[in-house]
Amino acid sequence: MSRSVILPPGSPPPLAPYSPGIRADNVVYVSGMLSMDEAGKTVGVGDVRAQTRKVLESVKSVVEAAGGSMSNVAYNMIFLKDLGDYAAMNEVYAQYFPGSPPARFCIRADLVRPEFLVEITSIAHL
Protein backbone atom coordinates (compact mmCIF):
# COMPACT_ATOMS: atom_id res chain seq x y z
CA MET A 1 0.00 0.00 0.00
CA SER A 2 1.27 3.46 -0.83
CA ARG A 3 0.72 6.04 1.90
CA SER A 4 1.44 9.77 1.87
CA VAL A 5 0.73 12.74 4.11
CA ILE A 6 -1.45 15.48 2.62
CA LEU A 7 -0.56 18.94 3.91
CA PRO A 8 -2.26 21.68 1.85
CA PRO A 9 -0.67 25.14 1.73
CA GLY A 10 -2.15 27.47 4.36
CA SER A 11 -3.21 24.67 6.69
CA PRO A 12 -3.59 25.68 10.33
CA PRO A 13 -1.11 24.19 12.75
CA PRO A 14 -2.37 20.84 14.10
CA LEU A 15 -3.71 20.98 17.68
CA ALA A 16 -2.35 17.46 18.34
CA PRO A 17 -0.06 14.92 16.64
CA TYR A 18 -1.97 14.30 13.38
CA SER A 19 -1.81 15.03 9.66
CA PRO A 20 -4.56 17.01 7.90
CA GLY A 21 -4.93 14.15 5.47
CA ILE A 22 -3.51 10.77 4.49
CA ARG A 23 -3.74 9.25 1.05
CA ALA A 24 -3.57 5.47 1.17
CA ASP A 25 -3.64 4.12 -2.37
CA ASN A 26 -6.72 5.85 -3.85
CA VAL A 27 -8.45 6.67 -0.57
CA VAL A 28 -8.04 10.02 1.18
CA TYR A 29 -8.72 10.22 4.91
CA VAL A 30 -9.31 13.79 6.08
CA SER A 31 -8.76 14.52 9.76
CA GLY A 32 -11.42 16.33 11.74
CA MET A 33 -11.38 19.86 10.34
CA LEU A 34 -12.11 22.84 12.58
CA SER A 35 -12.76 26.47 11.74
CA MET A 36 -9.22 27.85 11.98
CA ASP A 37 -7.11 30.14 9.85
CA GLU A 38 -3.47 29.40 8.99
CA ALA A 39 -2.34 31.03 12.26
CA GLY A 40 -4.62 28.72 14.29
CA LYS A 41 -7.15 31.43 15.20
CA THR A 42 -10.85 30.52 15.19
CA VAL A 43 -12.83 31.75 12.17
CA GLY A 44 -16.51 32.64 12.61
CA VAL A 45 -16.82 32.68 16.39
CA GLY A 46 -20.51 32.25 17.24
CA ASP A 47 -21.54 31.69 13.59
CA VAL A 48 -22.14 28.04 12.62
CA ARG A 49 -22.64 28.95 8.94
CA ALA A 50 -19.25 30.68 8.75
CA GLN A 51 -17.60 27.84 10.64
CA THR A 52 -19.19 25.18 8.43
CA ARG A 53 -17.99 27.03 5.33
CA LYS A 54 -14.43 27.27 6.69
CA VAL A 55 -14.44 23.60 7.74
CA LEU A 56 -15.65 22.45 4.32
CA GLU A 57 -13.10 24.67 2.57
CA SER A 58 -10.45 22.92 4.68
CA VAL A 59 -11.81 19.49 3.71
CA LYS A 60 -11.80 20.63 0.09
CA SER A 61 -8.18 21.80 0.30
CA VAL A 62 -7.03 18.39 1.58
CA VAL A 63 -9.00 16.45 -1.04
CA GLU A 64 -7.78 18.72 -3.84
CA ALA A 65 -4.17 18.54 -2.64
CA ALA A 66 -4.49 14.75 -2.94
CA GLY A 67 -5.68 15.11 -6.54
CA GLY A 68 -9.44 14.87 -6.05
CA SER A 69 -12.51 17.06 -5.74
CA MET A 70 -15.47 17.30 -3.40
CA SER A 71 -17.38 14.96 -5.74
CA ASN A 72 -14.93 12.24 -4.63
CA VAL A 73 -16.03 12.53 -0.97
CA ALA A 74 -17.93 9.34 -0.14
CA TYR A 75 -18.47 9.75 3.60
CA ASN A 76 -18.58 12.57 6.16
CA MET A 77 -18.70 12.43 9.93
CA ILE A 78 -20.15 15.65 11.37
CA PHE A 79 -19.89 16.76 14.98
CA LEU A 80 -22.00 19.70 16.18
CA LYS A 81 -21.61 21.38 19.54
CA ASP A 82 -25.35 22.16 19.53
CA LEU A 83 -27.94 20.22 17.52
CA GLY A 84 -29.91 23.47 17.37
CA ASP A 85 -27.38 24.43 14.65
CA TYR A 86 -28.30 21.43 12.49
CA ALA A 87 -30.46 23.32 9.95
CA ALA A 88 -27.97 26.19 9.56
CA MET A 89 -25.07 23.76 9.10
CA ASN A 90 -27.08 21.89 6.46
CA GLU A 91 -27.74 25.10 4.51
CA VAL A 92 -24.01 25.54 3.94
CA TYR A 93 -23.26 21.81 3.66
CA ALA A 94 -25.72 21.42 0.77
CA GLN A 95 -23.80 24.02 -1.26
CA TYR A 96 -20.68 21.83 -1.17
CA PHE A 97 -22.47 18.58 -2.05
CA PRO A 98 -25.16 19.32 -4.66
CA GLY A 99 -26.78 16.45 -6.53
CA SER A 100 -25.64 13.19 -4.97
CA PRO A 101 -24.34 14.02 -1.48
CA PRO A 102 -22.07 11.57 0.35
CA ALA A 103 -23.21 9.26 3.12
CA ARG A 104 -22.78 10.80 6.56
CA PHE A 105 -23.71 10.95 10.20
CA CYS A 106 -24.14 13.93 12.50
CA ILE A 107 -23.92 13.84 16.27
CA ARG A 108 -23.72 16.33 19.13
CA ALA A 109 -20.29 16.43 20.75
CA ASP A 110 -18.07 18.63 22.84
CA LEU A 111 -15.28 19.94 20.61
CA VAL A 112 -11.64 20.65 21.48
CA ARG A 113 -12.19 24.40 22.10
CA PRO A 114 -15.41 25.96 23.40
CA GLU A 115 -15.66 28.38 20.47
CA PHE A 116 -15.76 25.58 17.88
CA LEU A 117 -19.30 24.81 16.73
CA VAL A 118 -18.72 22.16 14.04
CA GLU A 119 -16.09 19.58 13.08
CA ILE A 120 -16.15 17.41 9.97
CA THR A 121 -13.95 14.49 8.99
CA SER A 122 -14.19 12.89 5.55
CA ILE A 123 -13.24 9.92 3.40
CA ALA A 124 -12.79 10.41 -0.34
CA HIS A 125 -12.17 7.80 -3.04
CA LEU A 126 -10.14 9.01 -6.02
pLDDT digits (tens, 9 = 90+) for 83-102: 999 999 999 999 999 999 99
What's the pLDDT score for residue 16?
Answer: 87
d(CA 58, CA 64) in angstroms, rounded, equals 10
Tell whether the model's pLDDT for residue 110 goes beyond 90. yes
- Tens digits of residue pLDDT in 70-87: 999 999 999 999 999 999
Sequence-separated (6 or more) residues with CB below 8 Å from residue 19: 5, 6, 7, 31
Could you give the C-alpha distances from 58 to 39, 78, 104, 126, in angstroms and in order? Answer: 14, 14, 17, 18
Report which residue type is found at 10: G
The pLDDT value recorded for residue 14 is 81
pTM over 0.85, yes/no: yes
* 10-69 tens-digit pLDDT: 888 888 889 999 999 999 999 999 999 999 999 999 999 999 999 999 999 999 999 999
Amino acid 109: pLDDT: 98
Length of the chain: 126
pLDDT of residue 45: 98
CATH of the domain at 79: 3.30.1330.40
Is residue 96 within 8 A of residue 56, CB to CB? The reply is: yes
Please tell me the predicted confidence (pLDDT) of residue 65. 97
Q: Nearest-5° angle of CA 17, CA 73, CA 67?
A: 75
Residue 61's domain comprises: 3-125
Tell me how many domains the chain contains.
1
